[in-house]
Structure 1
Amino acid sequence: MNAPLHSDKLLPADDKTNGWSAILPRRNPRAPAQKSASFDWLVVGAGYAGVSAARRLAMLNPSQSIALLEAQQAGEGAQGRNAGFAIDLPHNNDHNPDNTEKGFRHIRLSRYGIDSLDELVRAHAIDCQWSRSGRYDCAVSPEISRRLLGATAAELDSLGEPYEIVRGEALHERIGTRYYDSAVYTPGTRLVNPAALSRGLADTLPSNVHLFENSPVLELEAEPTVAATLPGGVRISARKAVLTNNAFISRFGCFKRQLLPFVLFASLSRPLTLEERKQLGGTLDWGITPAHGIAGATLRYTQDFRILFRYGFQFAPTLRCSDSLRERMKRSHEVLFKARFPMLDQVKLEHFWAGYLSLSQNGAPGWGQLSKDVYAAVNCNGVGIAKQTAAGALIAELACDTGHPLISDMMALGSPDMLPRRPFLDVGVRTYLAAQKWAGRSEK
């Protein structure tokens, strides 16, 4: 695992325009690690999995010390850039109609994560617009409604989960726009400002967790002892480590050629005026996921009267995107936003940003024990808030050998499949994406 990062080009390089954090009050980050030190545990990455793992390690080992290293600031990485859905049901190919137990596993894990977040938000009064409003899985065209939403309803039937099919005028009365043909509504999803949630979780960690922000790991060693090298030659050593840095874990030689990084783009409007709210109609605080996940758009109407628009699924093997792609996606957002909300022709998309996620070909997480003293919980497969909260807590349980009953559910999800080498991988993924976008072109 002794895999040094030779250049800062291999570290996170997110833009500085994340709308979710831009609308929040100023926060003073924790100081970076400035001198070498030793801890009992080292956690790399303060996303949902990392914060959850650090919190659980601290609770299981109250007399031990945990170092939590974050390359950026809490809420500024992928954890604060997503659309803000904590989804409780199988999502992104989590369900197999011929194997309902797989679906039940995902439900148990997701709800474990959501229940944990419910409790933390309440106990620490985290101001993050945490909402129990559920989710509308929407289709634009009748054909996609019939084919994909029909399959979703059949899956929910097989799992015994409640849902509601909403069409036409009834759907319009709930979400304001007439753009969609129909939706499958499920009540269990939570909606949130993810940057505010991430900040709140990071700022309420137990006292034996030492959070160091703006502290990127340049090199990680696993033997003879676990040690992370940071800028300035600072070394943080520990007895054991938990890696939760998602797609960047491959820089340390782990899950190489097993993870697929993608970039998505999001916009956030200014708050709607009272008159604009009346023109939109519908109800406040709803969330839409697209029936066609690659071709469609994700939307939110937030408690502070803003509209979030996320669209543009692109392969990003270098975890970078060009300025030209950003500008093209920004223009697309403006066009597609107006198509959905013609009544809001004066509303501007105030913020625009990019965010990265990691998928595996077979939908499996990167979770488990990597070596004698190193564990990992990475690869959210597009459902990071709920799943990675669960994955982080459970990797701590595994590392402490508690025998938690949900560990078997995590293990049963398997490991990511091996992928072809580049450039064959690039050609294959981009060809697949192009075919999917064409097949779902009615859902733009």
Structure 2
Amino acid sequence: MNDKTNGWSRILPPRQPRPALQGELSVDWAVVGAGQAGLAAARRLAENRPGDSIALIEAGEVGEGAQGRNAGFIIDTPHNVGSSLGELSAARDHVRLARSAIASLEEQVRKHGIQCDWDPNGKLHTAVSPQGIARVLKPTREVLDSLGEPYTWLEDKALHERIGFKHFAAGIHTPGAVLVNPAALSRGLADHLPANVSLYENTPVTEVRFKPGIRLSTPQGTVRAGKLILAVSVFAGQFGVLRNRLIPISAYGSLTRRLTEEEQGRLEGLRTWGLTPANAFVGVTVRRTPDQRILIRQDMRYEPRLVRDGDSYPQVAEHHQALFDTWFPALKGVNIEHTWSGFICISSNGGAGFGEVAPGVYTAVCDNGMGWTKGTASGLLIADKASGVDNPLIATYESFGRPALLPPRPFLDVGVRARFSWELWSNRREA
């Protein structure tokens, strides 16, 4: 549920959500979940089947779920991969899928004039320690060389001059990534859906039946659909599919208040940039946004209850404030203004919840932390698959495999928390 903390939304003008579903509805297609995958699937279905009726059903409000709570990176090239032939092949597949997603998103942004701070100037992948450079950045550079992808290697002064502070020792800048306000992009995509898509917000699905016939119950109505696409991320198990295969992770982010012009003059480096860490569990994602705020994203937690831990926000905000004060001593007095969390869906083997799970029922879930690219690509491709459109990228996405079956709880909980502890300790120099 929306806890009204998402900083990306709070800095935008108010938006009037679409009305909730009321009464009986019969449609050709139902798409549940208006995140990256759901928005893409609904749009592609409308393009493939312009004469069909499509209902897009969102439990909360668009831009307030995970799709609007991430750090706003739309990444085209892989990072943190090895140099084996199998991994290189997967890396090539990732680039093809990611760029198809970016092209689709950019087309919508330009076509509809979506104001989301679309910034196509790439991103940095950075490391703090010699260990991070040796284990992550150098292998990533080798992969980029093998793929023939352009990049710039930055160390010490060259990196510091770019971002304006000295915490990171080295980084790889890849030019194809895009930075956005993710809530604004989500809103814009939802507000410019094709005419044969009806969006219902604040409409949680309380019961689902796959046979005989697809039927969805909501607090104030029901939906009968010819076919169904579930784009519900970590909540897939609640719909009876992919149970014990998905791991819900909550990631915390903060935005400072907007810097004054005088404060901006004290901050060295480029006016906008974004960097991701060598180790996502331990390291810090940082951005300088176009409206001159600093984003800090750190602290990932296993959340098997699928409930955000709002009680931890003050502690996280204090930690993020301490990081900011250490890195930017010239900006003393600039405070953290918003702190929030959002879910990431991962699997133990990197598999994706993509395909037909029952007659006429399809899933596009589990992007393994690459929501804007893999989420968008999976939504587009599941719509093609479900509507019988031949697209060679479907086989590419299916090659990622199915999420592996997990141990039952509480053994799963013990295992995940032990892995987190190991990551935190063994990569502590990347904090």
Place the TM-score, normalised by the shorter chain, in its bin. over 0.9
What TM-score does the superposition give when structure 2 sets the normalisation length?
A: 0.98
Q: One-letter code of the match for 1:155?
A: V
- Say if 2:260 is the partner of 1:282: no
- Say if 2:132 is the partner of 1:135: no
- Say if 2:45 is the partner of 1:53: no
- Say if 2:300 is the partner of 1:313: yes
Q: One-letter code of the match for 1:383?
A: M
- Say if 2:205 is the partner of 1:217: yes
- Judge conservation of contact 2:57–2:199 (CA < 8 Å) in 1: yes
Task: Give the equivalent residue in structure 1 for 2:366.
Answer: 379
Equivalent runs, 1:361-380 vs 2, <5 Å? 361-380=348-367
Q: One-letter code of the match for 2:393?
A: L
Q: One-letter code of the match for 1:363?
A: G
- Say if 2:15 is the partner of 1:40: no
Task: Give the equivalent residue in structure 1 for 2:233.
Answer: 246
- Say if 2:413 is the partner of 1:426: yes
- Judge conservation of contact 1:68–1:210 (CA < 8 Å) in 2: yes
Q: One-letter code of the match for 1:206?
A: P
Equivalent runs, 1:252-401 vs 2, <5 Å? 252-401=239-388
- Say if 2:107 is the partner of 1:119: yes
The separation in 2 between residues aligned to 1:323 and 1:215, in whole angstroms, is 23
Q: Give 1:323 shift.
A: 4.1
Q: One-letter code of the match for 1:152?
A: T
Q: One-letter code of the match for 1:184?
A: I
1:286-343 alpha-carbon deviations (Å, 9 max, x no partner): 0010011110010111111111111101111111243443332222111122222222
- RMSD over equivalenced CA pairs, Å: 1.2
The separation in 2 between residues aligned to 1:324 and 1:36, in whole angstroms, is 39
The separation in 2 between residues aligned to 1:393 and 1:286, in whole angstroms, is 29
Relative to 1, partners in 2 of residues 1:184 and 1:277: Cα closer, same or farther, differing over 3 Å? same
- Say if 2:393 is the partner of 1:411: no
- Judge conservation of contact 2:71–2:297 (CA < 8 Å) in 1: yes
Percent of aligned positions that are identical:
47
Secondary structure of residue in 1 paired with 2:140: helix
Secondary structure of residue in 1 paired with 2:244: coil
2:133 to 118, 137, 145: 145
What TM-score does the superposition give when structure 1 sets the normalisation length?
A: 0.95
The separation in 2 between residues aligned to 1:354 and 1:115, in whole angstroms, is 28
Runs of 4+ in 1 over 6 A off after TM superposition: none
- Say if 2:223 is the partner of 1:236: yes
Task: Give the equivalent residue in structure 2 for 1:74.
Answer: 62
Q: One-letter code of the match for 1:124?
A: H
- Judge conservation of contact 1:97–1:155 (CA < 8 Å) in 2: no
1:141-177 alpha-carbon deviations (Å, 9 max, x no partner): 2332232211211221222211111011111111101
Secondary structure of residue in 1 paired with 2:85: coil
Q: Provide the aligned length of Structure 1 versus Structure 2.
A: 430
Task: Give the equivalent residue in structure 1 for 2:430.
Answer: 443
1:27-64 alpha-carbon deviations (Å, 9 max, x no partner): 11100001111000000000010010000000111111
Secondary structure of residue in 2 paired with 1:338: helix
The separation in 2 between residues aligned to 1:26 and 1:304, in whole angstroms, is 17
- Judge conservation of contact 2:254–2:340 (CA < 8 Å) in 1: yes
Q: Give 1:136 shift.
A: 0.5
Q: One-letter code of the match for 1:367?
A: F
- Judge conservation of contact 2:2–2:60 (CA < 8 Å) in 1: no
Task: Give the equivalent residue in structure 2 for 1:200.
Answer: 188
Q: One-letter code of the match for 2:261?
A: L
- Judge conservation of contact 2:206–2:216 (CA < 8 Å) in 1: yes
Q: Give 1:92 shift.
A: 6.0
Q: One-letter code of the match for 1:390?
A: A
Relative to 1, partners in 2 of residues 1:141 and 1:71: Cα closer, same or farther, differing over 3 Å? same
Task: Give the equivalent residue in structure 2 for 1:86.
Answer: 74
Relative to 1, partners in 2 of residues 1:92 and 1:22: Cα closer, same or farther, differing over 3 Å? farther
- Say if 2:183 is the partner of 1:172: no
The separation in 1 between residues aligned to 2:301 and 2:318, in whole angstroms, is 16
Q: One-letter code of the match for 1:439?
A: S
- Judge conservation of contact 2:80–2:140 (CA < 8 Å) in 1: no
Bigger Cα displacement from structure 2, 111-120 vs 158-167: 158-167
